[in-house]
Structure 1
Amino acid sequence: MKTYFYLLQFSILFFCLSTTIKTEASGSLPRISVEGNRFVTPDGETIIFQGVNFADPDRLVKEGQWKRDLFRVARDWGSNIVRLPVHPQAWRERGKEDYLILLDQAVEWAREFDLYIIIDWHSIGNLRTELFQHEMYKTSLPETYDFWLTISRRYADEPIVAMYEIFNEPTTYQGQLGSLTWDQWADILTDIIYVIRANSPEAIPLVGGFNWAYDLTPLMYAPLNVPGIAYVSHPYPQKRDQPWIPQWERDFGFAADDYPIIATEIGFMQPTDRGAHIPCIGDEEYGRTLMRYFRDKGISWVAWCFDPDWSPQLIKDWNYTPSRSGKFFRDVMLGKENLDE
């Protein structure tokens, strides 16, 4: 009788644990996929993403700001997605297993507030020559393959981790970081996507073009021969002079006719703001013009950065007081900004 009692207890415990695991893995958000030039839910409904970038989770831990409230306030601002920039240096220094604990926390907090996640391998430079713009961005092809192997295995069954941004901002920095042709870059990207898809078949890889992920003109003649992907642009205000729209259309917007486009970094700031730098100097005129253009083209976007130090800043402090650009993008997400004025 005692043995039966213990077996019954074990069966109940196993059932509870199994139910918990299943519930946590299923989440409350549907899996997103690519259909033509749209992001869609399983029932075919188009979804336009809008949201904010956080700072690197490793940095936020060190600042004492890696917390549930980040996700709550992002949702309160109207976000339906957040982007997590993982710097190679931080990935190495914290260690793979400890860093994955942070990403697991992000998934749980995002689930609580119905937010999707982009995981971004946040390097800037030339992955072929392995020359980069700063020490924090230094990586290698083997490390990049291993990162995406790890991430794609870890989150293969997690629809909240909707997109994998393969490499933040490819650039040769006017030749200072060596040469990189589109064909060479496409080969590297395709190999990485094969690794991701072998482990996470339903993942949506994000592909950025040249000029710090602004320029998608190579898609006119040589798009990647890989289905189910989306492309990225970072159209900060000073990437082009006015008039912006004809140049945006030529540089990246044309691609939205055939592929899903998500601008994973946008934003503006004033010349006197802390950390002000090219190409981010701008104002609400840029913001409204860009938001109208995105609306008309069906382009998704994620504003940079939900942090009081990383510019252009969306918040002034850790009370989440919106900056000038933060107020603008928050009001757009909440439907309070009249874009047609």
Structure 2
Amino acid sequence: MKRSKVIMVLSLLVIAISAFAWTNELSRISVDGNKFVNEEGETIVFKGLNIADPDRLVKEGQWKPKLFEELAGWGANIVRLPVHPGAWREWGSDDYLKLLDQGIEWAKAEGLYVIIDWHSIGNLRTDLYQADMYDTSMRETLRFWYTVSRRYADEPAVALYEVFNEPTTFNGQLGTLSWDQWSNMVMDIINVIRANSPDAIPLVGGFNWAYDLTPVSDNPIPAENIAYVAHPYPQKREKPWVEKWEKDFGFVAENYPLIATEIGYMYPEQKGAHIPCLGDEEYGNTITTYFEEKGISWVAWVFDPDWSPQLIKDWDYTPTRAGELFKEAM
């Protein structure tokens, strides 16, 4: 038996034995104007952390309650779980759902809400994607959300459903995609989610790897009770940033809840350093201050020593410089 299959089997045994030992119930989140609110009507601003795909964490031996304890210890109130289409297929939906079940229970035990993110990058219309790990299709995407929304319809901890991680045409290399086409595809996904989980809050990203939301100004997605997503890494725009962020995505927060489900930075000498993530504390301080002033929620990428830009140096959870900044901001 292949090593990866052995790891999967052992992990599922642990999950089955662990069952659902924690019952830290969280208040259901809904949309009120441009805010996320709980059942008591209190405004909730999310500040949290991305972890790696549960598939990777199982294979690294790091899929365990300690991870979620550490997230909460850093001050997070939400965790984003990125589900790669390739990993979803490798495990099969039944076994992957067991991983999600476990992660959600561990998150609840620490008082953390959960974003489930269909983590693909590319053009869902042309079925062309940035790398093999992101390969999917509209049919598979709809089937994923049908399955997930039915599974967690009665689970308030699963607060947000990010329908597609990063829509992009890769500067035209992946074909064309208009905002109207994207809006129609998003509505198909939202309708499936809502039919199975009426209280769900879908998250919708814009173009340019989920950075550009300018079409929302004149042509918002025709759905109620949704929120929009931005991924404003430091090199998406040149300094000064704030006036450009406001024009590109920040204006959306005047009328809708807005959550930056990926922010982060790294230095050129760090492992996996790449554009558009090269930056420093000036970026980190500027963007967290901007979000604080506008009431925008955010989730830093990524709580992993290998995936970049890293928030930790090792599995002892030693923070990188970016990790220290975002930890302090939470």
User: Is 1:144 aligned to 2:141, yes or no?
Assistant: yes
Amino acid at match of 1:160: A
User: Is 1:186 aligned to 2:144, yes or no?
Assistant: no
Match of 2:264 in 1: 267
Q: State the distance in 2 between where 1:171 and 1:327 align.
A: 31
2:170 maps to which of 165, 169, 173: 173
Q: Deviations over 1:195-253 (max 9, x none)?
A: 00000000000000000000000001100110000000000000000000000000000
Amino acid at match of 1:73: E
1:240 maps to which of 237, 244, 256: 237
Identical columns (%): 67
Offset, 1:42:
1.3
1:94 maps to which of 66, 87, 91: 91
Q: State the distance in 1 between where 2:199 and 2:279 align.
A: 38
Q: State the distance in 2 between where 1:234 and 1:224 align.
A: 18
Higher Rg? 1
Amino acid at match of 1:303: A
Consecutive aligned runs of 4 or more in structure 1 exceeding 6 Å deviation:
none
Aligned residues: 311
User: Is 1:205 aligned to 2:207, yes or no?
Assistant: no
Offset, 1:107:
1.2
Match of 1:63 in 2: 60
1:250 maps to which of 237, 244, 247: 247
Q: Secondary structure at the match of 1:316?
A: coil
Match of 2:193 in 1: 196
Q: State the distance in 2 between where 1:91 and 1:249 align.
A: 36
Equivalences for 1:1-341 in 2 at 5 Å?
A: 24=23, 27-333=24-330
Amino acid at match of 1:129: T
Q: State the distance in 2 between where 1:232 and 1:70 align.
A: 25
Amino acid at match of 1:238: Q
Offset, 1:44:
1.2
Q: Deviations over 1:151-181 (max 9, x none)?
A: 0000000000000000000000010000000
Offset, 1:106:
0.8
Match of 2:6 in 1: none
Q: State the distance in 1 between where 2:252 and 2:108 align.
A: 31
TM-score by length of 1: 0.90
Q: State the distance in 1 between where 2:40 and 2:88 align.
A: 37
Q: Which ranges of structure 2 fall in alignment gaps of 5 or more residues?
A: 1-18
Q: Secondary structure at the match of 2:71?
A: helix
Q: Deviations over 1:303-331 (max 9, x none)?
A: 00000000000000000000110011001
Q: Deviations over 1:101-159 (max 9, x none)?
A: 00000111011100000000000000000000000000001000000000000000000
What's the Cα RMSD here? 1.1
Amino acid at match of 1:105: Q
Offset, 1:98:
0.7
Q: State the distance in 2 between where 1:166 and 1:111 align.
A: 22
Q: State the distance in 2 between where 1:175 and 1:95 align.
A: 32
